[in-house]
Structure 1
Amino acid sequence: MTHLVFFCGHAGTGKTTLARKLFGALMKASGSPFCLLDKDTLFGGYSAAAIAMLTGNPNDRDSPLFLQHLRDPEYRGLLDTARDNLALGVSAVVVGPLSREVRERRLFDRAWLGIGAEVKLRVVWVHTSEETARQRIVERANPNDAYKLAHWDEYRQRRFMPSGALCDDLLMFDNSAPTPADYQDLLARIVDEPYAAPTMMPPVPV
């Protein structure tokens, strides 16, 4: 059985750091080889060049122009790459905001994803407070975040916290100040091992 695991959430929530932290333990717990597919790693350079040709600013990654013309092709390429790996028997950890896809429940639609019932599907929503996320964005000083910070009031309107039916099957993870036990619990939920027996799970590096 292969696994498709999404780590989603708004900027500054630490989803990439979390995915990398759990990666080795996830392979051991599942017994499956994995690849890590981060949207910014795969498409960041290309999209920066494309948006620079359109606007003159390679860091214009949250502008309406980018969101209208380049966002969806990035995600299609991300999912296409995941499917190629799954077809070869390699599980995939996919990292990206994917907030629209979570809001519209597309990540639980196997037909939309193009995967069969043999793939174990998990979607993790990584979250922190707006204040914590903004502080982390400022501290990491990534040029790609310049538009967000310059238009924060506009950007924050796209932030949301899943609730109600949106949380069905969604693995919520508060990444504000997680403990080793929190990491172990999330790992157990991803691979469907009972957290009541944590000794059965490989330790997550701290």
Structure 2
Amino acid sequence: MTHLVFFCGHAGTGKTTLAKNLHGPLTKASGTPFCLLDKDTLYGGYSAAAMAMLTGDPNDRDSPLFLQHLRDPEYRGLLDTARDNLELGVSALVVGPLSREVRERRLFDRAWLGVGAEVVIRVVWVYTSEETARQRIVKRANPNDAYKLAHWDEYRQRRFVPSGAICDDLLMFDNTAPASADYQTLLARIVDEPQAAAIMPPVPV
């Protein structure tokens, strides 16, 4: 049995760090190897080259042009890579905002994902306050965030916290200042084994 685990959420919420912290414990708890597929790692260089050619700004990841023409192909390639690994018996941790897909419940749609009933799907929504996220974005000083910071009022309109029916089966994780017990609980919910929390090592907080 393989697992397809999504770590979704807006910029600055700590999705990649969370996925990396859980990689080893998930591998041990599930008994299956995991690959880590981070959208920025897989497509950052390609998108930088494309945007430099199109607009002269290699760090643009939030303009209407990028969102209209490059966003969806990036995500499709990310999911295609995950599916290739699943077919080889390798579980996948997929990291990316995927906010539209969460809102539209696509990550629970096996036909849209192209995966069978034998794949365990878990979707984690990683969140923190707007101010905390902005502070983290400023601190990490990633050039790809320049557009967000320069157009914050525009960008913040895209931020949301899932609610209502969107939250069905969604694993919500407040990543503002999580304790080790919070990581343990999330691990157990991902693998659906309460005893799995016992193998989660302490995580620096």
CA RMSD of aligned residues (A): 1.0
Indicate how the Cα distance of structure 1 residues 115 and 166 shifts in structure 2: closer, same or farther if over 3 A, else same: same
Mapped contact 1:21–1:204 kept (Cα < 8 A): no
- Unaligned 5+ runs, structure 1: none
Moved over 6 A (4+): none
Indicate how the Cα distance of structure 1 residues 129 and 202 shifts in structure 2: closer, same or farther if over 3 A, else same: closer
The normalised TM-score by structure 2 is: 0.97
Distance in 2, Cα, partners of 1:103 & 1:36 = 23
Shift of 1:194: 1.6
Structure 1 partner of 2:127: 127
Shift of 1:204: 4.9
1:78-157, aligned counterparts within 5 Å?
A: 78-157=78-157
1:14-53, aligned counterparts within 5 Å?
A: 14-53=14-53
Mapped contact 2:16–2:38 kept (Cα < 8 A): yes
Mapped contact 1:25–1:204 kept (Cα < 8 A): no
Secondary structure of the structure 2 residue equivalent to 1:45:
helix
Indicate how the Cα distance of structure 1 residues 185 and 88 shifts in structure 2: closer, same or farther if over 3 A, else same: same
Give identity over the alignment, percent. 85
Aligned residues: 204
Structure 2 letter corresponding to 1:159: R
Shift of 1:108: 0.5
Distance in 2, Cα, partners of 1:168 & 1:184 = 21
Mapped contact 1:28–1:202 kept (Cα < 8 A): no
- 1:203 aligned residue (188, 201, 204): 201
Indicate how the Cα distance of structure 1 residues 9 and 192 shifts in structure 2: closer, same or farther if over 3 A, else same: same
